[in-house]
Structure 1
Amino acid sequence: MGGLKVKDIFIDPSDFKPRDLVVPNPFPREQEVWMVRFTPEDFKAFWFQEQTAIQFVPCSERGPNRDIRKQSGDTLLPLHITIPGTNGRPKIYDWSFRFQCRRHGPPRPLAIDRPSIGIGCPVEIRMKKPVGMDAVLVDYRWQHSHDLSAQTLSNMPMGANERSWIKLKVAEGSDWKGIRAMLRMDENSMSEVQYRFYVIMLY
């Protein structure tokens, strides 16, 4: 196994394309929780598409992997090596991460005229790599409990993907005029670009 990297779990701003129209992966409608075993390469393709199309927020995790997001995107995710003669409970997973829909929190009253981001959405995904297994196990509660219409989503503030992308462009020396030019294709398709940039993050 070549090994998955930090950027395979937490999307790298340089890989995010705000003008690209990305839709979530399809799931069997009768399955409330979708469980699947991926090869590492298939997992990378699945998760990149899903977290590009949908805004997720990482959940706090205990253990040695909790600060891994702070490391370089090219850092390999840890693989456990059992030392002969050691005692204690055998380690089951090399790593495990959990994400929730950005609207998972409770609703809060706002002074401005837009819906609260928090709505108690139950969408949650956990991914884990078993020790000694060339696979990633995914448990995905994928059905949202809130309105996913374009009108509602367009009233939401930008999510982490967009903010990180803008910060990257600013760090590279772009001003707002330049960033806006990167987003604009032509006048006839500008409304579609805005839809892609602000709306398609949830399916």
Structure 2
Amino acid sequence: MTLARPGVRIVPIHGKTPRIHDSAFVSPGCTLIGDIEIGADSSIWYNCVLRADVFTIRIGERTNVQDGSILHCDPPRPGDPDGSPLVIGDDVLIGHMAMVHGCTIHDRGFVGLGAIAMNKAVIGSDAMLAAGAMLTENKVMGERELWAGRPAKKLRDLDDAAVMGMRAGVMHYTQNAKDHAAAISDAP
């Protein structure tokens, strides 16, 4: 499931090694550490760090994590026996330079450029966390909601056009990842 990937640093720790589906694209310059699973046709873009040294990171299918994003989690501990794994569903868009930490992003969720999602926060299906927003601990976004601000608050429900725009973004990144993988393999 994990293939050697040129320019990608894959670091096993505590007996756990990242598992990357053969069809997933991981860009050169990325670092993946520990108990990570990345699903089919997902993409991790240039200079991302995914660090699952203390708990788990799970990424579904056709999800993209864009350039410079940081993903982490928190372990179980006294008072918090469940810990804060990072669980990301299918067809999720995570914008450039996002910080996603110990939260849950349901299928087709969206995290905007430079946004932050913290421990135990939940982004619902077809929901959008706006660029630069900060979703604080334990906040729950419902399906098809747009949240913005620091701290993030609900602005409105998303209409069909916004939801379809996010789905088009998923299709774009799935194809673009294939194009980049081919370009990298052809590069001198």
- Superposed pair shares fold, TM > 0.5: no
* Higher helix content, 1 or 2: 1
More relative contact order, 1 or 2 (CA 8 Å, 6+ apart)? 1
When Rg is computed on C-alpha atoms for both structures, the one with the higher figure is 1
Calculate the TM-score normalised by the size of structure 2: 0.29
Calculate the TM-score normalised by the size of structure 1: 0.27
